[in-house]
Amino acid sequence: MNIFKFNTVKDGEEKLTHFSPTKALVFGFAFLILAGAILLSLPVSTKPGYSVGFLDAVFTATSAVCVTGLVVVDTNTTWSAFGQTVIIILIQIGGLGIMSLATMFSLVLGRRIGLKERLAIQESLNEFTLTGIVRVFKKILYATFAIEFIGAAVLSTRLIPLYGLKSGIAKSVFHSISAFCNAGFDIFGSVGNEFISLTQLNREPVIIITIGLLIIIGGLGFIVWKDVVQNRKFSSFMLHTKIVLIVTTILIVSGSVLFFVFESNNPETLKGLPWADKILNAWFHAVTPRTAGYNSLPIAQMTEPSKLMTIFLMFVGGASGSTAGGIKVTTFSVIIFATLSFIKGEHDVNLLSRKIPDTVLRKSLAIVTLSSALVFATTIILLINKEGTLMEALFEAVSGFGTVGLTTGITPGLKVISKLQLILTMFLGRVGPLSAAMIISFGQGSKILPYKYPEGKISVG
């Protein structure tokens, strides 16, 4: 299906008239969610004795496509093998980007990848240039499948002994894809013991470390992968790569230390674990809020400081051009350094001896403002519908926006309006609130006005 339409102008160049790459991605995600919801609504998608309404099917499809992980029904006890296969396919496509499906078909069929597809791939990957974009995309596909295969192989060394050959392999493949795509869906639940995620495996270092590393690799982003492989030396990396690696390390290390401090004496989480497992699970819970959605400790039983720290990590998210959500570590870094530059009285915003363009600063401010507004609106709606305490509602709202999937436990009992709001929040969190706002306002690029207003004075702060 061609979601683009081009008109030819007199100078022989093609002009995009109906769908820009941003629109194509947004509507592509919406179409994929609808298709997934229809498939999940079929009787064959659920296990005998279970019936899922269309709204819950839409919620699940949205969560899968947007690689979130919030679920209103337990994935393992509710969905059949067919339903779980649909979910993992939606996760894989959603993680790689909607253009991955169309491009993969084109590559398999030997079709030429045209300008419109190249632009959409560039938008999907957040690449800086069109040069060699198809070659880059091929390498990303190969790398993705290779990493997921290795992850599944390592996980199988523990899951096969625990669950048997067939079930162990299925769980290994499912969780490797889900972890790498930062989705957070799990199939460990059982009847009477639903929504458990990794809480019963929190003393399995092979499983915890493997899933944690898959989350980190997926959250670094395709741009970072390419730069690291090509240049190898930190001093030769692009500014983007340096920021992502530095800030990611800081957030994981500081988060691990703080979680360890906050939870060490909590009998419901870390207190009863050996020291090695305490450190391991503290590290994991600093990693998973980067939009992965797995939890090895019960979120609802965590201390309030830990929940607040988790909210902060979920809001920041991972790297641009990755499977992660949130405002992104680069956006966060630009805002922090812009604030520091103002405090120090500097005219320019400088980061690692490089000046940040004003357009990037304005875009970062817009992203943070729109994201905060979306989280605020979602929290208000959840509170109006009496969906738990302020902390629980805020946690759920940020988890949905950041496409994380962690929850304090209120997701399965959400009312209809709350489900609809979270569907919208997950969708906007995945495509980006700024992209959605640009489409709504019909703004597809920078506009230079033919006039300038006189400067006005205003007092702020």
Question: Looking at the predicted structure, is the pLDDT value of residue 92 above 80?
Answer: yes
Query: Cα angle vertex 425, ends 423, 429, to 5°?
Result: 120
Q: Which residues, in sequence order, are CB contacts of 295 under 8 Å at separation 6+?
A: 197, 198, 199, 285, 288, 406
Query: Cα angle vertex 27, ends 25, 32, to 5°?
Result: 90
Please count the CA atoms within 13 angstroms of the CA of 322 that sit on its side-chain side. 35
234: left (phi over 0), alpha (psi -120 to 50) or beta: alpha
Closest to 291 measured CA to CA, from 269, 316, 308, 309: 316
d(CA 239, CA 223): 11
> What pLDDT score does 454 carry?
85
**Using one digit for the tens of pLDDT, what is the confidence trace for 343-386?**
988 888 888 888 999 888 998 999 999 999 999 999 999 999 99
> What pLDDT score does 102 carry?
56
Most confident residue range from 9-13, 134-138, 225-229: 225-229
**Using one digit for the tens of pLDDT, what is the confidence trace for 399-425?**
999 999 999 999 999 999 999 999 999
> What pLDDT score does 441 carry?
55
Question: Looking at the predicted structure, is the pLDDT value of residue 99 above 90?
Answer: no
d(CA 27, CA 37): 15
In eight-state DSSP terms, residue 223 is: H
- pLDDT, mean of residues 140-145: 86
> What pLDDT score does 12 carry?
40
Question: What mean pLDDT, rounded, does the chain reach?
Answer: 86
Q: Which residues, in sequence order, are CB contacts of 1 under 8 Å at separation 6+?
A: none
Q: How confident is the model at residue 212 (pLDDT cuts 50, 70, 90)?
A: very high
- pLDDT, mean of residues 98-127: 58
> What pLDDT score does 309 carry?
97
> What pLDDT score does 3 carry?
42
Neighbours of 162 (CB within 10 A): 14
Q: The tokens of 108 are what?
A: 């398999």
> What pLDDT score does 143 carry?
87
d(CA 49, CA 33): 25
Question: Looking at the predicted structure, is the pLDDT value of residue 166 above 50?
Answer: yes
**pLDDT: is 335 or 1 the higher one?**
335
Q: What are phi and psi of 231, to 5 degrees?
A: -105, -35
Q: The tokens of 222 are what?
A: 């395709």
Question: Looking at the predicted structure, is the pLDDT value of residue 134 above 70?
Answer: no
- For residue 225, give the H/E element and its range: helix 222-231
Query: Cα angle vertex 148, ends 147, 154, to 5°?
Result: 90
Question: Looking at the predicted structure, is the pLDDT value of residue 113 above 70?
Answer: no
Q: What are phi and psi of 158, to 5 degrees?
A: -110, -35
Q: What is the DSSP string of 55-80?
A: HHHHHHHHHHHTT----SS-HHHHB-
- Residue at 356: amino acid letter: I
> What pLDDT score does 107 carry?
56
Instruction: Indicate the range of 15-24, 154-163, 351-360 predicted with least confidence.
Output: 15-24
Question: Looking at the predicted structure, is the pLDDT value of residue 121 above 70?
Answer: no
**Using one digit for the tens of pLDDT, what is the confidence trace for 233-248?**
898 898 989 999 999 9
> What pLDDT score does 28 carry?
79
Closest to 70 measured CA to CA, from 427, 411, 318, 376: 411
**Using one digit for the tens of pLDDT, what is the confidence trace for 306-339?**
999 999 999 999 888 777 889 999 999 999 999 9
> What pLDDT score does 261 carry?
97
Q: What are the residue boundaries of the structural domains of the chain, listed by start?
A: 6-440
Q: How many residues does the chain have?
A: 461
Q: What are phi and psi of 265, to 5 degrees?
A: -105, 15
The percentage of the chain sitting over the pLDDT mark of 70, rounded to a whole number, equals 83
Helix ranges, 233-357 (H) = 239-263, 275-287, 304-316, 329-343
Cα 52 to its chain centre, rounded Å, is 25
